[in-house]
Amino acid sequence: MPIKCPIERAIYMKEYNIKHRVKLSNNHKIYQDENRWRIRKLNIKSQLKARGMTFQDYTFEEVWERKEETTHCDYCHELLIKKEIEHNHLTGHFRGIVCHRCNIKLGYADKKFKKVKEEIKKLLV
């Protein structure tokens, strides 16, 4: 019969984890080894969502496949050493796979564009 009281369950789980620490640790390592790429993809997906990227035009799987297949930057066309997923920082839409240098430039341009847009609004008011 399951333990219903949350305090008793917490005590039981703590004792169980201490008693079976080695077994749990080994199972965790095995799972990590077997699912390394799946875990990595999930981490990257959650990081992109946290940074404001939306997957409206493309699914995450399509973006991931494109990242794996792309060998040259979509903007400067140089060979990619460090691939980065570029997205519009205002809307969150995917723009392409770019090198680190172009990613920094495009992010800076987005910030500048936002400031210029705000300045124009101030002038028109």
For the chain, domain boundaries: 54-124
Cα–Cα distance for residue pair 102/28, rounded to 1 Å: 38
Cα–Cα distance for residue pair 67/80, rounded to 1 Å: 10
Tokens representing 36?
């390394």
| CA dihedral angle for residue 47, residue 51, residue 55, residue 59, rounded to 10 degrees | -20
54-124 under CATH 3.40.50, yes or no: no
13: helix, strand or coil: helix
What pLDDT does residue 71 have? 92
Cα–Cα distance for residue pair 43/116, rounded to 1 Å: 34
What pLDDT does residue 79 have? 92
Distances (CA, A) of 93 to 16, 84, 86, 96, 105: 46, 14, 9, 10, 17
Cα–Cα distance for residue pair 91/104, rounded to 1 Å: 17
Q: Tell me the residue type at 19.
A: K
What pLDDT does residue 125 have? 63
What pLDDT does residue 72 have? 92
Cα–Cα distance for residue pair 74/67, rounded to 1 Å: 11
CB 41 within 8 A of CB 55: no
Q: What does the pLDDT profile of the chain (125 residues) look like in tens digits?
A: 577 888 888 999 899 988 988 888 888 888 888 888 788 888 888 877 777 777 777 788 888 888 889 999 988 899 988 888 888 767 778 888 999 988 888 878 877 777 777 777 777 76
